[in-house]
Amino acid sequence: MDFELCTDDFALLKDYPHRRYNPLTDSWVLVSPHRAKRPWQGQVEKLAPDTRPAHDPDCYLCAGNVRANGEQNPPYEDVYVFDNDFASLLEDTPSAELQTGDLFLARLERGVGRVICFSPRHDLTIPDMEVTAIRKVVDAWVTEYEVLGAKSFVNYVQIFENKGAVMGCSNPHPHGQIWAQESIPDEPLKKQRAQLKYWDMHGKTLLSDYLDAELNGAPGVTARERVLFENEHFVALVPFWAVWPFEAMIIPKRPMARISEMTDAERDGLADAYKQLTVRYDALFQTSFPYSAGIHQAPTDDIDHPEWHFHMVFYPPLLRSATVKKFMVGYEMLANPQRDITPEKAAELLRG
Ligand code: H2U
């Protein structure tokens, strides 16, 4: 598309407080670059020593072990997926809407929760795994998306990974989760609305134009300033509108609505990008970098969704070291997310 420069000086963003717009979620983030130099006297997290064995007899996710509900895991050798024993959503929930006037509204929500063990090795995380092993995780995601999405009541499948005790992850064994449900949850719904509006206006996906500007530049946009790396099929970058200090996205170069559209080579490319990004994260503060990550993609509601351009998002909480994390409190809770270090600076640090 043709990009127009609306003001004359994007360099102002380096020095002055400003708000940046997230066109995917139709929301804003306050950026305060001048504050990045203030002294820090806040919380310093204690690092738990990482001395995990390859197999932990007390871990409910390790191969062959008994889970909390008494079921035994098989002696799995790569990826293992099972129904979450304590799922937040239940398949046998009836259908009902409860309403009193305009002020009290509730709906029963039907769904399924799955847990995906990335490896039988208790002591590995994604950045430690071979790309061929991560590829098996990608394959399992695709299968789960297809199988769960094919259930008539499932309209959205959320795939995610919650990594690190600081993110509330209950177990260090490398794993992720999949929640499939009747409704489209708020975050993907916001993205769906924004992408549909963009598609209707431009006949292209929002993220293909965004990627084009980030890779090749546009008025006021320096080419590759926020790009971390690319492989043949994917680009990893810190988005212009990042909220978390080292937030990142992995975006496929080819517009695809859902992960099941990937070719074999693209699946390898996603596995490679997942590894490359998490290796950079671990290197940044010399620590096993915590984050919540996940895939946003088209709903499984039997509609085509050409507007959707699937992508992976990473929201890590760390701010300036392995022990200092960003808190989304105060102004962030009450008004708007805010960040000090600019996305451009974060990208530079992650590239370095
Ligand atoms: P988190 O660490 O990201 O919370 O994921 C672990 C999930 O594993 C959690 O949702 C499930 C929990 O319900 N789980 C089982 O399904 N079986 C178990 O024996 C323990 C934990």
C-alpha torsion angle, residues 296, 299, 303, 307 (rounded to 10): -20
pLDDT for the residue numbered 90: 98
Alpha helical stretches, state H, the chain = 131-150, 186-202, 206-216, 264-284, 331-334, 343-351
pLDDT for the residue numbered 47: 66
Active site residue 175: yes
Q: Which of 34, 55, 173, 175 is catalytic?
A: 175
The answer to whether 182 touches 109, Cβ cutoff 8 Å, is yes
Query: Which tokens belong to 321?
Result: 């070291």
pLDDT tens-digit profile of 89-132? 999 999 999 999 999 999 999 999 999 999 999 999 999 999 99
> Global pTM?
0.95
Asked, colleague to colleague, whether 15-46+184-351 and 80-181 share their fold, the answer is yes
- Which residues of the chain have a pLDDT value below 50? none
Ligand 1 proximity of 68 Cβ (cutoff 6 Å): yes
Domain 15-46+184-351 is in which class?
alpha beta
Ligand 1 proximity of 86 Cβ (cutoff 6 Å): yes
C-alpha torsion angle, residues 152, 156, 157, 162 (rounded to 10): -150
pLDDT for the residue numbered 205: 98
The sign of the CA dihedral 147, 152, 155, 160 is negative
Task: Tell me which amino acid residue 261 is.
Answer: E
CA 87 to ligand 1 centroid distance, Å:
8
Q: Where are the domains of the chain?
A: 15-46+184-351, 80-181
pLDDT for the residue numbered 79: 98
Ligand 1 proximity of 301 Cβ (cutoff 6 Å): no
Which CATH code of 3.40.50.720, 3.30.750.24, 3.30.428.10, 3.90.230.10 fits the domain covering 80-181?
A: 3.30.428.10
pLDDT for the residue numbered 49: 66
pLDDT for the residue numbered 330: 95
CA 323 to ligand 1 centroid distance, Å:
25
Ligand 1 proximity of 59 Cβ (cutoff 6 Å): no
CA 111 to ligand 1 centroid distance, Å:
16
pLDDT for the residue numbered 182: 98
